[in-house]
Structure 1
Amino acid sequence: MTSRISGSALLLLGLLSAGCARQRFFQPDARVPNAQVRTASPDSARVTAGRHYRRGPLHRALFGQHYRPVWYQPVTLPVLNLNRVVPGGLTPGKIGGGFQTTSMTLNGPTGRAYALRSLDKDPYKAVPKVLRHTFVLNVVRDATSAGNPYGAFVVPPLAQAAGVLHTTPRPFYVRADENQLGEASERFRGKVVLLEQKFESKDDLGRMFGQGATDLEESDDMLSEVYADAKHRLDQQAFLRARLLDLWLGDWDRHEGQWDWVAYEQPEGRTVYRPVPIDRDQVFFRFSDGIISWLISRPWAVAKFRTFKPRYETIEGYARNARFIDARALNELPRAQYLATAEALQKALSDEVISQAARRLPPEVYKLEGARLENALKARRGSLPQAALDFYRLQAREVLIPGTDEKERFVVDRQSDTLTVVSVFSVSDEKDKSETLLYQRGFRPTETKRLVLHGLGEEDEFEVRGKVRRSPIVDIYGGPHEDKVKDESRVAGLRRKTRYFDTKRNNEVELAPELNIKTTRGVGSYAFDRDGSGR
């Protein structure tokens, strides 16, 4: 599921549930007990990802069948052997502090690092303390069965074909007597896990992500660089391609923490960041197949729990968790780019590619889910352009246009009743140096209701012009330094369409008879959340 469980969903569960939490919810060992173990070699084991998700008819009718048969289906997986899993072996590193997943870092002999994570989750900490010892905890834990435990292993060939950077996880079983993982050994014993390489050296980055890759950063660090200096830019086209792949896969949990960013060196000291989606835990999510789970997934409860079907459910639900990063990484692209990208993905994600990817499921799981998965992917591929247009309309409704901590000039040109153009220029202190165009995009009031401009640091200038009858609302947020605002625009009607937010002092406003000035004493008037922390 996710680390954030909504209050309305918990209230619904509380009303529908009673009793205490089960003391022993999870299977003690993934290895199939007392089974005639059929293995390809002595280094493999017959295991189940989660026998504890097997439920009776009444429970399945109320809470959903989900992927329960996949969780308790015995499969053959290799046994994790740190001495042989990669050339030179691995040694235990830092233990992770995952909110729901048991995780740690393993170190290789050449400086390469690997992430080891359990397939199953325990959302104990996601539940409010007052409910952690009630039946609600059982219900929330049981909802993990809505995810396909082997879904992440299907993604790499699809991402490769789509031109999206990706990791390549592998499944393993950790022996019940494992002791090579150091202090973390007890936490992992008897579990099914995935192992994937982490990219912590420049040699690894170049080998995996191509020439010019110099660094790998998390979203908050990447955004800090982008907002500090205009020489650091997001590859928005690459991000759009990745986000449309997310929609196609039904991966609704794509918040800013689910991305890494590869930094590529460019001429003249510039850097461009390209996205790497990580943690594909929620691809092919199947949730709304029970009475209570259907109610929980309604718009008034947890609308982001979208079920993977041949047809797309509401695009807004799929995109809800990614609103923060989408607003910052998709603010440049026009409608035509969404459609062109969707059509390119349709061609790249062929029947052969889909079949090859689905075959990465364990053979026993493929027999259960393979045909259904392939048919759904093909059907969703056919309607991907329409999904892309719906996604565009969602992103175009309100557009965020931040500057940087350097000097910029923002120009809002209300050219006609059907077109408003926003341009952002870098301003140099050197008088003989011309301005550099950083951003330009046209907006139609039928699609865009609000434009939000943030000057951030240094002294910025804002110019608004044009006389029209229709236009998006323009909200201008200054910054900690002295900013200038010049509003010569006119929009018909009684409601003022341009608003300016800043502190009461150190600002210069001119020619603004229709400007709605909303200054305050505190710096909160122009606050901008750079990294998702809410600050």
Structure 2
Amino acid sequence: MNYIRIKLLIAYILFFATTTVFSQQIERSIFITANTADYNDSGVLKHIISEANNQENSSVLIIGNAVSKSNLKKVIAPQLNVLNDADEVVFIPGYKEWTKGHKGVRNIEDYIQDHSNAKFFPDNAEPIKHHGLGENIELITVDSQWFLEDWDNHVYINEDSEIQNRTLFFLEFENRIKKAQGKIILVAMYHPIETNNKQGLFKNIGGFSSQNFQNKQYRTLRNRLKTIARGAENVIFISGQGKNLQYIKGSVPQINSGAAGSLEAVKNGEEGDFSLKKNGYVRLDIATDGGVTANYHAYEDGTFKEVFKTIVLKGDTNQLEPYTFKENHPNTQSASIYTKKATTKSGFYKTLWGEHYRDFYGKKVNAQVVLLDTLMGGLLPVKRGGGQQSKSLRLEDKAGRQYVMRALKKSTIKFLQANAFQETYIGDVLDGTTVDKFLADFYTTSNPYTPFVIGGLSSAVGVNHTNPVLYYIPKQKVLGSFNDDFGDELYMIEEHVGDTQIESESFGTPEDILSTADVLQEINKSGKAVVDEPSYIRARLFDMLLGDWDRHEDQWRWALYKNEDGTEYCSPIPRDRDQAFSKYDGTLISTLTRLIPGLRKMQTYDDELRSVKWFASSPYHLDLTLIHASGWEEWEKQAGHIQNELTNADIENAFEAIPEEVKGAVIEDIKVKLQGRRDNLMEIAKAYYLYLNKFQVVTGTQKADDFTITRLPNGKTSLKIDRKDLGILDHTFSKDITKEIWIFGLDGKDNFVVEGEGDHPIKIKIVGGKKNDTYDFRNTRRVKLYDYKDKENTIVNKRSKKWLVNDYELNNYDHKKVKYNFNQLLPILAVNPDDGLKIGVVSNHTSYSLQRNPFTYKHSINAAFYTSTSGFDLSYSGEFSNIFHNWNFGIEGLYTSPN
């Protein structure tokens, strides 16, 4: 009897819990279907509309294949008539929408929007679009077929888009996910990230079609999107490729609703999944508490029936505080970044891997204890930060100004996820592993407390900056659910470099604050926006003064100012100074940072800079993009300014921000080296100026531009870029400094003129762009044009050297694509019974220029000596790209001694 009562009690509890979830107030109902171009007598669309009209707030999503290869009007018009009474209808392209290429997609968008109230997303030729479906629901629509298309077949595929390559697409998707944190995020795209469709033999081994689930390009798409989504919360993917009904629970929920017409087979999935080969649709009910339920309806026996119902996301059911918080806190707290055990290493370990600043991480320092609701008048957490290493929170005060709360202890997992596992979500799998511990120890190469001195140094030389302050932040009620990952450790709090802080004097009180991506778009748009080159050069020289090599694009924000004539200029705001004064000592670490090209930028801070080329490798492409008009005189002026303005007293004052507990010989040594590097800054500036100007990349605008290239005596070349009455650039290059120039016309009907009979001309490569460009090469020496073969071009002089191929990567501007090469020398050590010990060396030289597949050319030379025979061998291999388009040529040779 007791057993029966227990079962009844459990059943009652489960029923009550389920009823509670399903009975929450519905914020919005979303009806999902796809493949409506061939819908049949089941009347899926008509039933959806009748049900949607019974809901207070509803949306209908048609996720792909709403058209067929036949007449557009004939296929889509009946659907629009049925959908006309719906509150909101959104069409999303599938693969059939791409039958006539990107222009066909635009025609479909225009027709739908001209003949109905429906929306077509993504719109305006973009591959991704975000759209609010309410205060707490974010719809992110993706044109997945855009990603899967062979872009070499579409000359103008991204003509009107701000996203010009797939890398930018992933960045935009990640940004959209980050900005929507705290909401229910629906990612709608035709192709699913998970499927239970029966694949068949060819599909299982990959096949050749981009529609195959195992296709390489498709696999990259779904793996990257899934990995990004798993790093967030409350993300649901909804798709329509499968002509059936599916629910896949998975690590990220996947809903497939493509059963509006013809059907295809589907297999059973894992426990909790659902699969059905019947006509039907899915209704998502999103409750006001964040709960999401999926209701599957199928056409059976002449009517629609609910065949499956599941909770996709549970709502906010937390009614109990998960933490007991202290009521009283001391004014200061003694704390360290790492435990003493984690920073205690043997003498042999230190010899091999270095001392670094490991002691700083294990030493306790006294920091002010703060409660966020009383700091700066009261701060509230807004969302998590998105850095690749830092664990951070965005905070906001009562006036709307935002700040960043960043833990001094960096996240090894975030670093690995962003750099090593972009297509696989690792979560906490590596926590506590050898990899995790090694990377945590490698982080000790950066000084954790020197970021607090940068503000004082920046003020002295006139560089914009944040003002970080060290705090100990305990777990506290205001952190809410963020207490799971934040609190009870050391943090810095500084201004968030964004538009909520435009009144900040240390940011220059601008009219707006832009990201680097925004600035690059503004520069290329019309030529009316420019970067303040003197202030940027000063900021870059300041990077070199500090030894801060990690200056990639996201480490910069830009203060925007508007002139009375309508032009704009942007001044840099550097941020995230984690790598200043780094220390890469230890036999193995110092060897690796010299041998491996990707690590050569990591140089131990000293009064000299070992290699400006490798030190500047992260922002090198950005420097090429932003600095064109400034000669050595400007670099000399800015280096002299820093040398004159940064006094020894300024250095002493700035370093007062270091906690007392870690002051001592190490900090004093940094100050001495800083003074020495300041004194050497002019030589460093000269070395980088010469390296930066050896190769140049120049762009026009998205409008029609006139490029006039004049060959002058003594190896000089004048380049003028004009647009109507606006001068974009007027600069003269010298062969003594500049060896090669790439010129990109971008969009618009550009006109390129090469004239003059000067001697020793600089090599120039001109990439026209997307419109009918005119190439008037009156002097054809050392100049070559690149453009699409299937695009109309006007080549005045038929003797002009040219390379006309349908190659999207070659013919489109990517500011990260620059000319560079590197050498790598590696030792060879092996042993075998016949030859004894093999001692040798391998030398690799790889060059990357405009034409690549995937490099321009590569040489490899091997030399080895054998102790048992006193013999030796020499071998050579070379590979040269694009002897014919997409065809490389390789050569090998081997010589061995007689013995």
Provide TM-score, normalisation by structure 2. Answer: 0.51
Give me the whole-angstrom Cα distance separating, in 2, the residues matched to 1:465 and 1:439.
17
Using the TM superposition, give the Cα deviation of residue 268 of structure 1 relative to its aligned residue in structure 2, in angstroms: 1.6
1:74 corresponds to which of 364, 384, 397: 364
Is 1:192 aligned to 2:502, yes or no? Answer: no
SS in 2 for 1:321: coil
Partner of 2:390: 101
Give me the whole-angstrom Cα distance separating, in 2, the residues matched to 1:255 and 1:124.
20
Is 1:242 aligned to 2:539, yes or no? Answer: yes
Partner of 2:565: 268
SS in 2 for 1:320: coil
> Which runs of structure 2 are paired with 1:55-454 in the superposition (5 Å)?
55-86=345-376, 88-127=377-416, 128=420, 133=430, 135-175=434-474, 177-201=475-499, 204-205=502-503, 207-210=505-508, 213-287=510-584, 289-301=585-597, 302-427=599-724, 435-454=725-744
Using the TM superposition, give the Cα deviation of residue 338 of structure 1 relative to its aligned residue in structure 2, in angstroms: 1.1
Give me the whole-angstrom Cα distance separating, in 1, the residues matched to 2:776 and 2:695.
23
Change in 2 beyond 3 A, CA 1:195/1:404: same
Q: What does the per-residue CA deviation read over 1:309-364, in whole Å, with 9 as the maximum and x for residues that have no partner?
A: 12212111210111221111122211221112111110011111111111211122
Using the TM superposition, give the Cα deviation of residue 200 of structure 1 relative to its aligned residue in structure 2, in angstroms: 4.2
Give me the whole-angstrom Cα distance separating, in 2, the residues matched to 1:329 and 1:201.
22
Change in 2 beyond 3 A, CA 1:106/1:326: same
Is 1:46 aligned to 2:46, yes or no? Answer: no
| 2:612–2:688 contact (8 Å) kept in structure 1 | yes
| 1:466–1:490 contact (8 Å) kept in structure 2 | no
Gaps of at least 5 residues in structure 1 are 1-40, 428-434, 492-496
Change in 2 beyond 3 A, CA 1:136/1:49: closer
Change in 2 beyond 3 A, CA 1:263/1:416: same
| 1:53–1:145 contact (8 Å) kept in structure 2 | no
Give me the whole-angstrom Cα distance separating, in 1, the residues matched to 2:500 and 2:441.
41
Change in 2 beyond 3 A, CA 1:202/1:116: closer
Change in 2 beyond 3 A, CA 1:531/1:311: closer
Q: What does the per-residue CA deviation read over 1:75-102, in whole Å, with 9 as the maximum and x for residues that have no partner?
A: 111113113321x211111112332211
Using the TM superposition, give the Cα deviation of residue 251 of structure 1 relative to its aligned residue in structure 2, in angstroms: 0.1
Change in 2 beyond 3 A, CA 1:512/1:307: farther
Q: CA RMSD in A?
A: 2.2
Matched to 1:198, the amino acid is H
Q: Which moved more, 1:517-526 or 1:351-360?
A: 517-526
Matched to 1:186, the amino acid is D
Using the TM superposition, give the Cα deviation of residue 169 of structure 1 relative to its aligned residue in structure 2, in angstroms: 0.7
| 1:334–1:441 contact (8 Å) kept in structure 2 | no
* Rg comparison, structure with higher value: 2
Using the TM superposition, give the Cα deviation of residue 207 of structure 1 relative to its aligned residue in structure 2, in angstroms: 4.7
SS in 1 for 2:594: coil
Percentage of matched positions with identical amino acids: 26
| 1:75–1:362 contact (8 Å) kept in structure 2 | yes
Give me the whole-angstrom Cα distance separating, in 2, the residues matched to 1:354 and 1:444.
39
Give me the whole-angstrom Cα distance separating, in 1, the residues matched to 2:490 and 2:508.
32
Partner of 1:511: 797
SS in 1 for 2:536: helix
Using the TM superposition, give the Cα deviation of residue 292 of structure 1 relative to its aligned residue in structure 2, in angstroms: 1.2
Aligned residues: 477
Q: Which moved more, 1:149-158 or 1:435-444?
A: 435-444
Change in 2 beyond 3 A, CA 1:202/1:119: closer
Change in 2 beyond 3 A, CA 1:78/1:257: same
| 1:414–1:421 contact (8 Å) kept in structure 2 | yes
Partner of 1:22: none
SS in 2 for 1:298: helix
Matched to 2:697, the amino acid is L
Q: What does the per-residue CA deviation read over 1:103-139, in whole Å, with 9 as the maximum and x for residues that have no partner?
A: 1111100111111111121223444469975634432
Using the TM superposition, give the Cα deviation of residue 149 of structure 1 relative to its aligned residue in structure 2, in angstroms: 0.2
Using the TM superposition, give the Cα deviation of residue 209 of structure 1 relative to its aligned residue in structure 2, in angstroms: 3.6
Change in 2 beyond 3 A, CA 1:440/1:151: same
Q: What does the per-residue CA deviation read over 1:237-283, in whole Å, with 9 as the maximum and x for residues that have no partner?
A: 11100000000000000011110011111112211111100111100
- Structure with the larger strand share: 2
Q: Which moved more, 1:121-130 or 1:66-75?
A: 121-130
Using the TM superposition, give the Cα deviation of residue 208 of structure 1 relative to its aligned residue in structure 2, in angstroms: 4.5
Give me the whole-angstrom Cα distance separating, in 2, the residues matched to 1:246 and 1:338.
14
Change in 2 beyond 3 A, CA 1:92/1:354: same
Give me the whole-angstrom Cα distance separating, in 2, the residues matched to 1:125 and 1:158.
30
| 1:104–1:117 contact (8 Å) kept in structure 2 | yes
1:499 corresponds to which of 766, 772, 784: 784
| 1:50–1:120 contact (8 Å) kept in structure 2 | yes
SS in 2 for 1:286: coil
Using the TM superposition, give the Cα deviation of residue 218 of structure 1 relative to its aligned residue in structure 2, in angstroms: 0.9
Give me the whole-angstrom Cα distance separating, in 1, the residues matched to 2:499 and 2:809.
39
Partner of 2:814: 529
Give me the whole-angstrom Cα distance separating, in 1, the residues matched to 2:403 and 2:501.
15
Using the TM superposition, give the Cα deviation of residue 368 of structure 1 relative to its aligned residue in structure 2, in angstroms: 4.0
Give me the whole-angstrom Cα distance separating, in 1, the residues matched to 2:500 and 2:477.
32
Matched to 1:248, the amino acid is L
Using the TM superposition, give the Cα deviation of residue 490 of structure 1 relative to its aligned residue in structure 2, in angstroms: 5.3
| 1:62–1:292 contact (8 Å) kept in structure 2 | yes
| 1:260–1:275 contact (8 Å) kept in structure 2 | yes
Change in 2 beyond 3 A, CA 1:80/1:324: farther
Gaps of at least 5 residues in structure 2 are 1-328, 818-899
| 1:519–1:525 contact (8 Å) kept in structure 2 | no
| 1:346–1:384 contact (8 Å) kept in structure 2 | yes
| 2:709–2:718 contact (8 Å) kept in structure 1 | yes
SS in 2 for 1:359: helix
Using the TM superposition, give the Cα deviation of residue 53 of structure 1 relative to its aligned residue in structure 2, in angstroms: 2.8
Matched to 1:506, the amino acid is E
| 2:531–2:569 contact (8 Å) kept in structure 1 | yes
Give me the whole-angstrom Cα distance separating, in 2, the residues matched to 1:297 and 1:202.
40
Q: Which moved more, 1:382-391 or 1:413-422?
A: 413-422
Using CA pairs under 8 Å that are at least 6 residues apart, name the structure with larger relative contact order, 1 or 2: 1
Change in 2 beyond 3 A, CA 1:149/1:203: closer
Give me the whole-angstrom Cα distance separating, in 1, the residues matched to 2:500 and 2:565.
20
SS in 2 for 1:511: coil
| 1:223–1:531 contact (8 Å) kept in structure 2 | no
Give me the whole-angstrom Cα distance separating, in 2, the residues matched to 1:348 and 1:125.
38
Provide TM-score, normalisation by structure 1. Answer: 0.85
Give me the whole-angstrom Cα distance separating, in 2, the residues matched to 1:342 and 1:48.
38
Q: What does the per-residue CA deviation read over 1:418-475, in whole Å, with 9 as the maximum and x for residues that have no partner?
A: 3111111112xxxxxxx33211222121211111111111111111122244122101
Give me the whole-angstrom Cα distance separating, in 2, the residues matched to 1:255 and 1:403.
23
Give me the whole-angstrom Cα distance separating, in 1, the residues matched to 2:677 and 2:505.
33
| 1:147–1:281 contact (8 Å) kept in structure 2 | yes
Give me the whole-angstrom Cα distance separating, in 2, the residues matched to 1:469 and 1:44.
71
SS in 2 for 1:100: coil
| 1:111–1:201 contact (8 Å) kept in structure 2 | no
Change in 2 beyond 3 A, CA 1:466/1:512: farther
Change in 2 beyond 3 A, CA 1:529/1:472: same
Change in 2 beyond 3 A, CA 1:384/1:310: same
